[in-house]
Amino acid sequence: MSNPSTDTLGAIVTALRQVTTVCVVGHVRPDGDCVGSQLGLGMALRAAGKTVSVWNEDAMPRKLMFLDSEDLLSKPRTGETFDCVVAVDCASFERLGRVGSCIGNRRLLINIDHHASNTRYGDMNWVVADVPSTGELILELLKRARWPLTPAIADCLFTAVSTDTGSFRYASTRPETFCSAAELVRQGADLGRIGHRVYDSHPMSRFRLLRHVYRQARLTHDDRIAYFWLRRGDYGRAGAEREESEGLIDHIRSIEPVVVAVVFEEMDETLVRVSLRSKSDAVDVNKVAQIFGGGGHKAAAGARIAGTRLAVQRRVLRELRHAIDRAA
């Protein structure tokens, strides 16, 4: 990394050296970048002699459990006091969910993230929007601090980098990303195990969800928008957990004419979680998500939108049609 962000990074390393108790927190519905960054940083801090907690509102996806070799991740608890809380891969304080109400007794809040929509909610904010994963930022932090990169930490950070770049396929992937990945492999990241556990070990319930996607998906706006719904009952019928929906959107995103893919997920009768993916540099789904109070990246963003299912679908598809037409 370079320029002013390096000064921020140096200040963060200095602050972390001076604290004793640290809690590393991440966003609701944690993905590979969030969990990998949390655990990689948590392991490094523990090895540096800190007392470390790692908290998420939601459980870790089963496919990522192999990363937590030190049993660091746990549910948030009230009444705890920390010298420092580090939020990773979380664009806003609200995205921490219930964790936010459990970390009030702290001296310092550090915010490390790569989302362009980050609200700079920390006492110290290191946000680098052109880096495709928070895992790369954590790697840079560990190198600056000169903390050892063990094979277990390398597994966590490689998983973070790999998952948030679509296995290095997304346009956000930079030459430096491959250098970071190579360094993690040199430090012991087990590509065979990571590939098997993260990409090739889906439960049967995931297959049943995927079958639902192909039955229910729809195309609109000259086949340039693809979307499907996940209702609460769909998980029960598939015997699946909500975490198993991660990545389903890629199956409709990969259809050739599609420019933007959308997943509408029913949270309750009046709240819908919307995930957006764009295949065009000219269609910025982060801007669309921000219309609805959400955010993310140019090619991947989301929001939670209050309203009935039909009303939310109409509003989102209308904004996407406008965005695609403006880009034409």
Q: What is the mean pLDDT of each run of 10 residues along the chain (328 residues)?
A: 68 97 96 97 98 96 94 95 98 96 97 95 96 97 97 98 94 94 97 95 93 96 97 93 91 96 95 96 95 93 96 98 94
CATH class of the structural domain 204-327: alpha beta
Using DSSP, state whether 76 is helix, strand or coil.
Answer: coil
Q: Quick: pLDDT tens for 142-201.
A: 999 999 999 999 999 999 999 999 999 988 899 999 999 999 999 999 999 999 999 999
Nearest to 54 by CA among 156, 161, 201, 162: 156
Contact present, 252 and 214 (Cβ < 8 Å): no
Domain with CATH 3.90.1640.10 in the chain: 4-199
Contact present, 38 and 25 (Cβ < 8 Å): yes
Contact present, 77 and 103 (Cβ < 8 Å): no
- The separation between CA 164 and the C-alpha centre of its own chain, rounded to angstroms, equals 7
Quote the CA–CA distance of 82 and 24 in Å, as a whole number: 10
Nearest to 112 by CA among 75, 144, 76, 77: 144
Using DSSP, state whether 313 is helix, strand or coil.
Answer: helix
Q: What is the largest CA-CA distance in the chain?
A: 58
Nearest to 264 by CA among 273, 256, 255: 273
Tell me whether strands 106-113 and 82-88 are parallel, antiparallel or unpaired.
Answer: parallel
Contacts of 36 (CB under 8 A, 6+ apart): 64, 67, 135, 156, 157, 158, 159, 160, 161, 163
For residues 289-313, one letter each, b for 16 or more C-beta atoms within 10 angstroms of the residue's C-beta and e for the rest, the string is bbebebbbbbbbbbbbbeeeeeebb
Q: Tally DSSP H helices, then E strands, for the chain.
A: 11, 12
pLDDT value, residue 218 = 98
CATH number of 4-199: 3.90.1640.10
Contact present, 177 and 165 (Cβ < 8 Å): yes
**Joined tokens for residue 270:** 């009046």
pLDDT value, residue 171 = 85
Residue with the two structure tokens 């519905």: 29
pLDDT value, residue 226 = 98
Domain with CATH 3.10.310.30 in the chain: 204-327
pLDDT value, residue 2 = 41
